[in-house]
Chain A
Amino acid sequence: MNLPQTHARTEADRAVEVNLSINGSDVALALPARVTLSDALRDHLGLTGTHVGCEHGICGMCTVLVDGEAARACLLFAVQLDGAEITTVEGLGKPDQLHPLQESFGRHHGLQCGFCTPGFLMSSYDLLTHEPEVQREDLPTELSGVLCRCTGYRNIVDAVDEVAQAHRGALPGPANCGQRTLVGRTTATAATSAAVGAERTDEEELVERPQEIVLPAGDPTIHVDVTSQLTSAPDEVARVFGDVRLLARCLPGAELTDDLGADWYRGRARIALGPMRMAFNGIAHIEEQSDERIVMKGQGKDTGGGGAQARIVMTAAAADDGGTVLQAEADVFLTGRIAGFGRSLAGDVSRRMFQEFARAVDRAASGEEPTTDAQPPRAFSLLVATIVDRARQRLRRLTSRGESRR
């Protein structure tokens, strides 16, 4: 355990600064001293995987690792943890690469409602790393720091026992730790350290133009790779590629508001998804622009406190039929409430957006107005299209006659 820095007396109504490393990301917070770690994680950093049950140290829902040891996040004031390394359930595994404990909980049905699951995962991770030789008969006592009210203990013990036996002394570490931007309901800067204020600010604010847009390390929240066949000829598409304003109008919901010079632009994007309405104010930098290739980076802030950063590469190539093959590849990093939306559906929605974009480019290339619809992409139709798409894919797989996806 690291020795924390000393801290001068701070009055009850003032915020105390605290530096933490959370799942490998350095975070600087300013919080009232009475804010618990569990509230800091959930409300100020958007990490809602840590659940809160009793809030006085009985139920174990909020169990996280502090400097590698399990502790109850509701019994710790965040300001006490200056310099500490915190690991939450979000750091344990990735959606497509779960930790062995997560796999095992799934396999053994070690959960019903799932509310206690983050607590059990972190408690059992701590147990198996510190006491790798633990025997099955000791598990009920050793896991007694977390309560399950769905009577799921037998399956939980089965799940932990299987991992204990499979990984004696060699339990894989948390797989989803790395430098990334954490943003909760409060403001944060998008660079490597997120400075989060104690109070939320809902006002639209202009994103400052940075020296450079730095994408977070680690895997993107969404990776999109869409290839579309356009009927327009390559030289017509090149005309669109050469006109940033026209190109922006092809993007559903996007609006270019300011040309900052030197290939930097300011813009707005509105996206509506189901009950969610997001308005991004952002900034984009075109790093490379030629007739057949555009590379750009962008970052934006949602007025609700979320954030997005992306690197987009678009290439146009001549097709055999005289048309153009347009390929769009994007790495999108989401934070805040949209990140919690679910990677899979968010990915599908992004894919649909690029397909709409490709159609708009096709129209623009042939001299038409790129978007007939000046409204933001309507949530309902986007969602319906996404779901219809999925149903079709499933149907194709079922009939097993499907052509390989383009």
Chain B
Amino acid sequence: MKAAPFAYVRPGTTADVVAELSRDGSKVIAGGQSLVPVLAMRLGRPTQLVDINAVPELRQLARDDGSLRVGATVRQRQLQREEIGAAVPLVRLALPWVGHREIRSRGTVCGSIAHADPSAELPAVAACLEATMVLTGGRGTRQVAAADFFTGALSTVIEPDELLSEVIFPVAKPGDGFGFGEFARRHGDFALAGVAVRVRTSGESVDARLTCFGVSDVPVSVDVSPHLRSALQMTGPQPSRADLVSALAEHTEEVAEDVVSTGGDSHASPAYRRRLISALAAREVSRAYVSARLSRPEERS
């Protein structure tokens, strides 16, 4: 379990990082919490690691114009702890599920998204929130929407000589509510199935977006607004969470049917994953709706 030898470089600017990435067989390392196990098991043997931790601008964690910009070396635990992270509640809900404290101390938000493990939490969060990925390469910078970013298991549109330099998350507005849940054999393991939910309420209108992970090679997002609206017709606009869960459960089975495209493995059959998605979706859409209503100024009085 020792990594194969590799050349090592630690540039001080993004431009130098990109220049180093143009060498064949180069790979970015930030926190290394996904990459080092891959190297230890020799599933990957990059010829050069480009350590981006000495680049000051990649550490930025800042809020502007309704978005939170998370730089490439911002640690998961940092986002969990710092006040500014509260601007994106769904990330805060998801982070406790990412590995363990010991992993989140070093693991980065961008690194997890760039690694694009189909069972990982943060790619699903990025997909659910329709976050924007900023890719920096030799030909300049481009922005990619989450919907176009993930191309398959552990695969993204990042070119070999590009760096995911930051992820831009939209900041939650009044009337937004979120839910996150997953099921794993042990806490900290990759999930058998999980969901991230964003509900938006404004006046009388209600929208709900469900993103499922662990059930396909990429996070799968579904507009579940019709399902939420018809459940609310059964319960009325101010349901208790338990009532809304029951009402939603009528619809989520059908949603789960469509999103689970993975084959079975030794941990769970596709049918079991569908049941997990159905139950988690009913629970978390309901949680998100209730918290969305509570986040509206008029509901707080």
Contact = CB atoms under 8 A, between A and B. Distances in A.
Interface residues of A, number: 44
B7 A71 contact: no
Contact of B100 (A12, A80, A145): A145
B69 to A, nearest CB: 19
Nearest to A57: B37
B32 A76 contact: yes
Contact of B7 (A3, A33, A127): A33
Pick from B4, B40, B41, B75 the residue with the most CB of A within 10 Å.
B40
A233 to B, nearest CB: 65
A34 B33 contact: no
A76 B188 CA distance: 19
A141 B187 contact: yes
Interface string A80-99: 10100000000000000000
B86 to A, nearest CB: 17
Given A3-B54, A4-B53, A4-B54, A77 B32 contact: yes
B26 to A, nearest CB: 10
Interface in A325-343: none
Contacts, number: 129
A8 interface: yes
B154 interface: no
Contacts of A72: 102-103, 106
A142 B105 CA distance: 14
B1 A7 contact: no
B25 to A, nearest CB: 11
A250 interface: no
Interface in B126-164: none
A72 B1 CA distance: 15
Contacts of B103: 57, 72, 75, 145
Interface in A122-156: 123, 126-127, 130, 141-142, 144-145
Interface stretch (A62-70, A197-205, A220-228): A62-70
A123 B7 contact: no
Contacts of B54: 3-7
Which residue, of A54, A72, A79, A123, has the highest number of chain B Cβ atoms within 10 A?
A: A72
A9 interface: yes
A190 interface: no
Nearest to A12: B5
A13 interface: yes
B15 interface: no
B6 interface: yes
B105 A69 contact: yes
Interface in B77-108: 77, 81, 99-103, 105-106
B100 A11 contact: no
A344 interface: no
A10 B32 contact: no
B170 to A, nearest CB: 27
Interface string B183-226: 00011100000000000000000000000000000000000000
A145 B106 contact: no
B10 A77 contact: no
Given A6-B54, A126-B101, A127-B101, A75 B33 contact: yes
A79 B40 CA distance: 16
B11 A80 contact: no
A75 B37 CA distance: 7
A34 B20 contact: no
Contact of B8 (A3, A9, A69): A9
A75 B9 CA distance: 18
A32 interface: yes
B17 to A, nearest CB: 11
Interface in A1-24: 1, 3-13, 16
Nearest to A141: B187
Given A12-B5, A80-B51, A56 B10 contact: no
B268 interface: no
A10 B5 contact: no
Nearest to B4: A34
A83 to B, nearest CB: 10
Interface string B98-126: 01111101100000000000000000000
Contacts of A144: 100, 186-188
B48 interface: yes
B238 interface: no
Given A6-B10, A8-B9, A75-B32, A70 B101 contact: yes
Contact of B102 (A8, A39, A70): A70
Given A57-B37, A77-B32, A80-B29, A33 B101 contact: no
Contacts of B242: none
B72 interface: no
Nearest to B56: A3
Contact of A6 (B11, B32, B105): B11
A4 B187 CA distance: 32
A63 B101 CA distance: 11
Contacts of A3: 53-54, 56, 59
B36 A76 contact: yes
B102 A79 contact: no
A77 B48 CA distance: 13
Interface centre among A6, A8, A63 (most CB of B within 10 A): A6
Most buried by B among A13, A60, A69: A69
A60 B102 CA distance: 8
Contacts of A32: 5
A6 B1 contact: no
18 contacts: A4-B10, A5-B10, A5-B54, A6-B12, A7-B10, A7-B54, A9-B20, A11-B7, A12-B6, A33-B8, A34-B2, A39-B2, A56-B41, A60-B100, A71-B102, A80-B10, A80-B53, A127-B101
Given A57-B103, A126-B101, 14 more contacts: A3-B56, A3-B59, A4-B54, A7-B8, A7-B51, A55-B1, A57-B36, A69-B77, A74-B36, A74-B40, A76-B32, A77-B3, A126-B105, A145-B188
- Which 10 pairs across A and B sit closest by C-beta, in order of nearness? A145-B100, A33-B8, A55-B1, A12-B5, A6-B12, A7-B10, A9-B9, A69-B105, A56-B37, A34-B3
Interface of A: 1, 3-13, 16, 32-34, 36, 39, 54-57, 60, 63, 66, 69-72, 74-77, 79-80, 82, 123, 126-127, 130, 141-142, 144-145
